[in-house]
Amino acid sequence: MTPDGDGGGVDAVDPGRFPLRGAWVVLGVGGGIAAYKAVELCRLLVDAGAHVTPVLTAAASRFVGPTTFSALASEPAETELFGGAHPIPHTRLGQRADLVVVAPATATVLGEYAHGIARDLLGAVLLATRAPVVVAPAMHTEMWQHPAVADNMTLLRRRGVVVVGPEAGRLAGGDLGEGRLSDPAVIAAAAAAVLARRQLDGGPPGDLSGTRVLVTAGGTREPIDAVRVVANRSSGRQGHALAAVAAARGASVCLVTAAELDPPDGLDEVVRVETAAELAAAVLARAAEADVVVMAAAVADFRPAHPFPGKLSKRVGTPEVVLEPTEDVLAALGRRRRPGQLLVGFAAEAGPSAVDRGRAKLEEKGADLFVVNDVSRPGVGFVHETNAVTILDRSGRAVEVPLAPKAVVAGAVLDAVVALRSELAAVAGERPSGQVVTCRDPAEGRQQA
C-alpha cells in the first residue's frame, strides 16, 4: 500500500478491521414483503467482499425469486432441503458459514428457530451452524408485539442471537407502526460489527455499550438574508450512518445534525441545527458528557458578518457579502477535553496530499483520530451512498478503508475508536468505561443453536 502521507505508513484494512471481506455469509430470507430489501442487503454484503449464499424459504420465493438473488450473490441461491445437488446442504452451509444473517426474519422463521424446528433449509441451517446469527425481524406491529413473538425474541437474545430492529415506519398495506425491516446498510454494518468482534477476540457484540457518543452531521447553512444561505455539499449521510451504527453497537448516541435527513432510530437525543453557531452551542453544551465526539459535520468556516433581516432585492444592486470566521468547534473541544475523552475529526479533501492535509489537521486541532476522504474520487463523500477513507491516528498509523457503503465505513471508524479506547485504557490500567467484557475463548461467545 502506498503511503500517501508522511506518517507511519498506510495499512490496508485487514480482515479483522474490515470483517466482511472473505467471510462466508448465509443470507436467510423469510417470506415477507420486506424480502425485496434483502436483495439490497445481498448486494451490500457482496460489495463488502463477503461470499454470500442466499437461502430462501418457500414463502420468500413468492415475493422475490431465487434467480434475482443468484444473479447478485457470489453463490447460487438455495431453497431446498432435499433434491438439490448436495445431499445434505444444511450442514455444508451451516458448517462453512462465518455468519448467518436472516432478513427479513418473519414470525414463523423466528418461532421455529427459537424452538429448534428445522422444517426447511433455512431452519436446518440455523440449527446446523455454530456461527453467530444476526436476525432482522419484519412483520406487522400486532405480530411483533404478540407475547408469543416477544417470548421467542427473549429466548433468542438469551442465546446470543443479535437482533437488529425492527424500526417504526410504513408497513405492508399502508399501515404505520413498529415492525419495519431496518435499513439494509444498518443490517450490513451490524453483520460487519459481529464479525469484527468475533475475529478480534471472539467476544460478544455491543462493544460500545455504555459509551456516550456525540456525533455531528451535515453541512451548516449560514444566512445571507431571510431566504439565501451560504451552504456546502455535505449530505449528512456519513454522520447519520455513524450515529446509527454506534447505537446498533450499544452506544448512547446524541446526534447534532444540520442534515435534511430523517435521523436513524435508536438514538438517545437528536438536536437539529442550521448554522455553525447553533452547532457549536449544541456540541459545546453536551461535549463534557461524551466519551467520544465524532465531528463528521461540514461546519462552515465563514459566515456572512451582517445577515440582512429581510430579503435582499436585486433592484437595490449587487450586495457585497462580508464574511467573518466561525468558531472551530473541534479545535475548541481539543483545548477543553477531559482525560479519556476521544475526539474524531473528518477532513473532506480533494486531490493528492489529502492524507498529509488530514494529518496536519489532526495535530492542529488536537484530535485523536482523523478520517480523511478524497472527495475528487468517484463514489467518495458528500452526496454518495458510499465512501472511501483513510483513518489516521496520533501514532502515525493510517488505515485505508476501500469504497464501501457509508454504514460499513462507519463501522470501520468505530472499530478504530474501540481499538484506541482499549489501548488508552490498557495504558491507564483499566477497562474503558462502558466496554463489554469480552470472552477470551472464541467458542464461549457463540450462541447455542
- Considering only residues 353 through 372, tell me which ones interact with ligand CTP, judged by CB under 6 A: 361
3 φψ region: left (φ > 0), alpha (ψ -120 to 50), beta (else): beta
Please state the closest distance from residue 9 (CB atom) to ligand CTP, in A.
Answer: 23
Per-residue burial over 137-169, b if 16 or more Cβ lie within 10 Å, else e, is bbbbbeebeeeebeebbeebeeebbbbbbbbee
Closer CB to ligand CTP, residue 295 or residue 389?
295
The three grid cell numbers given for residue 413, joined into one nine-digit string: 471508524
- Considering only residues 247 through 276, tell me which ones interact with ligand CTP, judged by CB under 6 A: 276
Burial of 335 (0-12, 13-18, 19+ CB in 10 A): exposed
| Amino acid of residue 185 | A
Closer CB to ligand CTP, residue 330 or residue 401?
330
The total number of residues written for the chain in this structure: 449
- Asked if residues 57 and 109 have their Cβ atoms less than 8 Å apart, the reply is yes
Please state the closest distance from residue 326 (CB atom) to ligand CTP, in A.
Answer: 5
Q: Please tell me the count of residues contacting ligand CTP according to CB under 6 A.
A: 14
Closer CB to ligand CTP, residue 43 or residue 286?
286
Residue 242 DSSP SS3: helix
Closer CB to ligand CTP, residue 282 or residue 329?
329
Cα(236)–Cα(445) distance, rounded to whole angstroms?
35
* Neighbouring C-beta atoms of residue 289, cutoff 10 Å: 12
From candidates 142, 289, 301, 423, binder to ligand CTP by CB under 6 A: 301
Please state the closest distance from residue 448 (CB atom) to ligand CTP, in A.
Answer: 44
Question: Which residue in the list 152, 232, 373, 387 is annotated as catalytic?
Answer: 232
Q: Does residue 18 bind ligand CTP (CB under 6 A)? A: no
What single string gives the DSSP state of each residue in 216-282?
EESB--EESSSS-EE-----SHHHHHHHHHHHHTT-EEEEEE-SSSPPPTT-SEEEE--SHHHHHHH
The three grid cell numbers given for residue 12, joined into one nine-digit string: 490496508
Cα(85)–Cα(76) distance, rounded to whole angstroms?
11
Closer CB to ligand CTP, residue 353 or residue 422?
353
Please state the closest distance from residue 1 (CB atom) to ligand CTP, in A.
Answer: 23
Closer CB to ligand CTP, residue 114 or residue 329?
329
Closer CB to ligand CTP, residue 139 or residue 297?
297
Q: Does residue 187 bind ligand CTP (CB under 6 A)? A: no
- Asked if residues 215 and 245 have their Cβ atoms less than 8 Å apart, the reply is no
CA distance to 26, 84, 124, 235, 422, per residue, from 369 (Å): 34, 50, 44, 22, 14
Please state the closest distance from residue 354 (CB atom) to ligand CTP, in A.
Answer: 10
- Binding segment for ligand CTP (CB under 6 A), chosen from 102-110, 297-305, 393-401, 416-424, is 297-305
Q: Is 387 annotated as catalytic?
A: no
Provide the β-strand partners of residue 366. none
Q: Does residue 299 bind ligand CTP (CB under 6 A)? A: yes
Site string for ligand CTP, 315-354 (x = CB under 6 A): -----------x-xxx--------------xxxx------
Question: Which residue is associated with the grid cell 451560504?
Answer: 230
Please state the closest distance from residue 255 (CB atom) to ligand CTP, in A.
Answer: 14
Please state the closest distance from residue 241 (CB atom) to ligand CTP, in A.
Answer: 15
- Binding segment for ligand CTP (CB under 6 A), chosen from 51-59, 124-132, 142-150, 294-302, is 294-302
Active site residue ranges: 232
Residues that bind ligand CTP (CB under 6 A): 276, 295, 297, 299, 301, 326, 328-330, 345-348, 361
